[in-house]
């Protein structure tokens, strides 16, 4: 917020950009704030349109609306994810919230929570389908188990879902996702929470890397949950 205040004071960003930035960087429920803000703007527009007229304030109001509508589409995935049964489990909800809350002030903690979130989602899926695994299983073996369960290997991507000429491309994307997950694991092992450090030490990794890890984690979790629903809903319906 201090950076935003400085930017406004120096006329580097407009009040519109500031308003939207506050909404977007608040927490995981940004989409709720966006929806609320759009409803509030409707009321303001209806009550004050005659007084505002076609002046700069009216254009500023429209700018806010356009930006919010754009980000409303971008954040809709959070709403979909938040409603998924697995993410409604209390301890997983806490992981999600802690991950977002720590991104700026404690990026190491955020990275640690991102890894825990991935691990918890994968284990919950395996538990739901009665797939056994050892208590001390490492993340790479866990990822292999979940890939086998969800048929994400090169020779098991559904031909019904994708034509043959696209299956190789799809597997390339999935391989990239696996590399991203492995990168999160490595970051967690080297920089994440769980390693002792002096309270006076500054974070070993900049917040922007925590943001990257959070985005990558949400991409991975989204794909795993959507694939899980697709594979097992079809299986149960057949």
Confidence (pLDDT) at 68: 66
| Per-residue pLDDT tens over the stretch 145-155 | 998 898 887 66
The rounded distance, in Å, linking the Cα atoms of 56 and 14 is 13
Confidence (pLDDT) at 80: 60
Write down the mean pLDDT value for the chain.
72
118, 217 contact by CB (below 8 A):
yes
Confidence (pLDDT) at 116: 92
| Per-residue pLDDT tens over the stretch 11-64 | 444 444 444 444 444 444 555 666 666 666 676 666 655 555 555 566 666 777
Confidence (pLDDT) at 84: 76
In this model, does residue 223 exceed pLDDT 60? yes
Confidence (pLDDT) at 122: 93
Task: Give pairs for 185-189: CB < 8 Å, separation 24+.
Answer: 185/115, 185/139, 185/140, 187/111, 187/213, 188/111, 188/112, 188/114, 188/115
Eight-class DSSP state of 95 = H
Confidence (pLDDT) at 101: 85
| Per-residue pLDDT tens over the stretch 166-176 | 777 777 888 88
The rounded distance, in Å, linking the Cα atoms of 116 and 112 is 6
**What does the pLDDT average to over 76-102?**
75
Residue 11, Ramachandran bin (φ over 0: left; ψ between -120 and 50: alpha; else beta): left
Confidence (pLDDT) at 126: 95
Confidence (pLDDT) at 186: 84
Task: Give pairs for 11-15: CB < 8 Å, separation 24+.
Answer: 14/60, 14/63, 15/60
Q: For the chain, first and last CA: distance in Å?
A: 52
The rounded distance, in Å, linking the Cα atoms of 164 and 8 is 53
Domain residue ranges in the chain = 1-78, 88-234
122, 143 contact by CB (below 8 A):
yes
| Per-residue pLDDT tens over the stretch 95-145 | 888 888 888 888 889 999 999 999 999 999 999 999 999 989 998 899 999
Confidence (pLDDT) at 12: 45
CATH assignment of 88-234? 1.20.120
**What does the pLDDT average to over 66-95?**
68
């Amino acid at each position: 917020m201090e950076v935003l205040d400085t930017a406004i004071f120096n006329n580097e960003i407009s009040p519109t950009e500031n308003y939207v930035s506050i909404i977007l960087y608040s927490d995981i429920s940004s989409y709720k704030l966006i929806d609320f803000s759009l409803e509030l703007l409707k009321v303001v527009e209806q009550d004050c349109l005659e007084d505002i007229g076609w002046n700069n304030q009216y254009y500023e109001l429209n700018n806010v609306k356009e930006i919010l509508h754009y980000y409303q589409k971008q954040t809709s995935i959070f709403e979909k994810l938040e409603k998924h049964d697995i993410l409604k489990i209390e301890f997983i909800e806490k992981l999600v919230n802690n991950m977002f809350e720590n991104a700026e002030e404690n990026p190491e903690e955020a990275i640690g929570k991102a890894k825990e979130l991935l691990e918890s989602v994968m284990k919950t899926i395996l538990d739901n389908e009665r797939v056994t695994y050892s208590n001390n299983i490492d993340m790479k073996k866990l990822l292999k188990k979940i890939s086998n369960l969800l048929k994400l290997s090169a020779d098991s991507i559904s031909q019904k879902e994708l034509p043959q000429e696209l299956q190789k491309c799809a597997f390339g994307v999935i391989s990239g996702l696996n590399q991203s997950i492995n990168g999160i694991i490595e970051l967690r092992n080297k920089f994440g929470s769980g390693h002792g450090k002096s309270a006076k030490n500054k974070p070993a990794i900049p917040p922007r890397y925590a943001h990257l890890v959070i985005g990558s984690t949400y991409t991975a979790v989204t794909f795993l949950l959507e694939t899980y629903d697709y594979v097992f809903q079809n299986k149960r319906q057949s």
